[in-house]
Amino acid sequence: MERSLTILSKLNKHLVANYEPQLIADHGSGAWLWDVDGNKYFDFLGSYAVLNIGHCHPRIIAAIKKQLDKLGLVSRTTPTEALALFSEKLVHFCGFGETGKILPALGGHEAVEKAIKIARKWGYETKGIDEKKAEIISCIGSFHGRTYGALSLMTNQQYKYNFGPFLPGFIQIPFGDIGALEQAITKNTAAFIVEPIQGEGGVIVPPSRYLPLVSEICRENGVLFIADEIQTGFGRTGHNLSCERVKVQPDIFIVGKGFSGGVEPVSAVVGRAEIMDVIKKGDDGSTFAGNPLSCVAALEAMKILEEEELSDNAYDLGLILKQGLRNISRRYIKEVRGRGLMIGVELVENVKTENLIRKFMAEGILLGASHNVLRFNPPLNIGREDIYWALPKIKKVLES
């Protein structure tokens, strides 16, 4: 642990402590991560559903190296073919075909901010909401980032404590509650933004009819339906996008995380052209968004997802993993839930997840947790042998 402790001391001295390090990472390959002292871990954390195709996928690395020999960054006033190809591919991926447009971003929170801007501007200029009265509805327990617009959508008091005041015009309702949505909509409602499955909120899965009813209610009331698929998208839940499972097409998707290929940051707002076109020249900008490195990484990642049938693999292995977790003693487990390879294990209240995380690491397993929920977000290209290797170790820790 000597190298880890040396590096950790430097981090503690010079880095703001907004995260608590679990280990000092050195290199990764596929579903495996090594620390600087040579210890090896199976990465169920997956950088919170970013590493859908694993660490350092050779095709992603090759695509970026090839692009680096040509061009790394240019202004959006001098766009590249890579951006054109990425835009075309992404609108089709999201089901908009020739009628879609994208607004590229980097981190997921930036895409959320852009979606808020689009929704408000659309509300004023298309729906006719009175100036400065536009409202956006979101859900209690949601997570959309930590910038001010994103925090204004959320109710988590830890993330908001001593950072106020927040932006006006945001209303929160219970997740999965159709009646609450109907009651919250007014003539000033521009949009409803929702995660198909709440991730940071504890892997909360809504009733199957929830999203179809959301779509119907929003359409009837002239409200934009915005699906935040930053975590649930890119095959994570057993479908390319989680909304596909219930055959729902939102007005706008927010995507990110897994689309990066685990190397370059990529996110975007994707929607119908007549909505997206409210953004005019000078209304929005981002220095690095849509850069050619990000675009070629995302293009290759989408090809890998399709060619290796990773959504189907996530669906199949998710069933195996969930059943294996449900077979573990229920003394400390309250519920196992999720879809595909987005799985949460809710523990009874007196179990401390931080203690368990350390025990899992001692068994060579890296996990994340939200509140009292262990979160399993492994790469989607793992095999059954990986699940069967991990389950006895998980059982050992949870039954210890």
HEC string for 182-222: HHHCCCCEEEEEECCCECCCCCECCCCCHHHHHHHHHHHHC
- The b/e string for 122-153 (b: 16+ C-beta within 10 A; e otherwise) is bbbeebebeeeebbbbbbebbbbbeeebbbbb
Q: Which residues contact residue 45 at a Cβ distance below 8 angstroms, ignoring those fewer than 6 apart?
A: 366, 367, 368, 375, 377
Please give the CATH architecture assigned to the domain spanning 2-56+309-398: Alpha-Beta Complex (3.90)
Query: Helix and strand tally (H, E) in the chain?
Result: 14, 15
Q: Which residues contact residue 88 at a Cβ distance below 8 angstroms, ignoring those fewer than 6 apart?
A: none
Give me the CATH code for the 60-307 domain, please. 3.40.640.10
Go through the chain and tell me how many residues it has: 400
Residue type, 224: L
The pTM (predicted TM-score) of the whole model is 0.96
Query: Which ranges in the chain are annotated with CATH 3.40.640.10?
Result: 60-307
Q: What is the pLDDT along the chain (400 residues), one digit of tens a residue?
A: 789 999 999 999 999 999 989 999 999 999 999 999 999 999 999 999 999 999 999 999 999 999 999 999 999 999 999 999 999 999 999 999 999 999 999 999 999 999 999 999 999 999 999 999 999 999 999 999 999 999 999 999 999 999 999 999 999 999 999 999 999 999 999 999 999 999 999 999 999 999 999 999 999 999 999 999 999 999 999 999 999 999 999 999 999 999 989 999 999 999 999 999 999 999 999 999 999 999 999 999 999 999 999 999 999 999 999 999 999 977 889 999 999 999 999 998 877 788 899 999 999 999 999 889 999 999 999 999 999 999 999 999 988 8
CB 222 within 8 A of CB 327: no
CB 157 within 8 A of CB 151: no
CB 367 within 8 A of CB 375: yes
Beta partners for residue 101, in sequence order: 271
Query: Which residue is listed with tokens 């930590």?
Result: 146
As annotated, the active-site residues are 143, 228, 257
Query: Which residue is listed with tokens 């009651």?
Result: 183
Query: Which residue is listed with tokens 């002239």?
Result: 222
Q: Are strands 224-228 and 252-255 parallel, antiparallel or unpaired?
A: parallel
CB 176 within 8 A of CB 198: no
CB 212 within 8 A of CB 291: no
Query: Which ranges in the chain are annotated with CATH 3.90.1150.10?
Result: 2-56+309-398
